[in-house]
Amino acid sequence: MSLFTQSNNAPGLFISFEGIDGAGKSTHIQAFADELVKKYPKHEIVLTREPGGTALGEKLREILLHHPMHLETEALLMFAARREHLATVIEPALAEGKILISDRFTDASFAYQGGGRGLDLAKLYELEVWVQMRLANNDSGDGAGKRYVLQPDLTFLFDLPSETAESRRSAARDPDKFEQLNTDFFEKVRLEYLRRAQDDAARFHLIDASQSKEVIWKILQEAISNI
Ligand code: TMP
* pLDDT tens, position by position, 117-148: 999 999 999 999 999 999 886 556 565 678 89
Q: Whose CA is nearest to atom 10 of ligand 1?
A: 178
Residue among 50, 103, 128, 176 whose CB has most ligand 1 atoms within 8 A, to mutate: 50
In percent, the amount of the chain with pLDDT more than 90 equals 81
Give the pLDDT score at 1.
Answer: 44
**For range 146-167, the mean pLDDT:** 94
Distance between CA 165 and CA 163 in Å, rounded? 5
Neighbour count for residue 127 (Cβ, 10 Å)? 22
Residue 80 binned pLDDT confidence (cut-offs 50, 70, 90): very high
SS3 88: helix
Residue among 112, 157, 189 whose CB has most ligand 1 atoms within 8 A, to mutate: 112
Distance 1 CA to ligand 1 centre (A): 32
Pocket of ligand 1 (CB under 6 A): 21, 49-51, 65, 78, 103-104, 108-109, 112-113, 178
Residue 170 binned pLDDT confidence (cut-offs 50, 70, 90): confident
Q: Whose CA is nearest to atom 16 of ligand 1?
A: 109
- Please state whether the predicted TM-score (pTM) of the whole model is above 0.85: yes
Q: Of 219 and 135, which is predicted with more confidence?
A: 219
Give the pLDDT score at 149.
Answer: 94
Give the pLDDT score at 10.
Answer: 85
Q: Which residues of 57-106 form beta strands (DSSP E)?
A: 99-103
Second-level CATH architecture of 13-225: 3-Layer(aba) Sandwich (3.40)
**For range 183-210, the mean pLDDT:** 97
What lies within 8 Å, CB to CB, of 54 at 6+ separation is: 81, 84, 85, 88, 89
Distance 61 CA to ligand 1 centre (A): 9
Give the pLDDT score at 142.
Answer: 63
Distance 50 CA to ligand 1 centre (A): 7
Domain ranges of the chain: 13-225
3-state per-residue secondary structure call for 138-177: CCCCCCCCCEEECCCCEEEEEECCHHHHHHHHCCCCCCCC
Q: Of 192 and 5, which is predicted with more confidence?
A: 192
**For range 64-89, the mean pLDDT:** 98
Q: Whose CA is nearest to atom 18 of ligand 1?
A: 109
Distance between CA 98 and CA 10 in Å, rounded? 10
Element (H, E) at 195: helix 183-199
Distance 202 CA to ligand 1 centre (A): 23
Distance between CA 205 and CA 39 in Å, rounded? 20
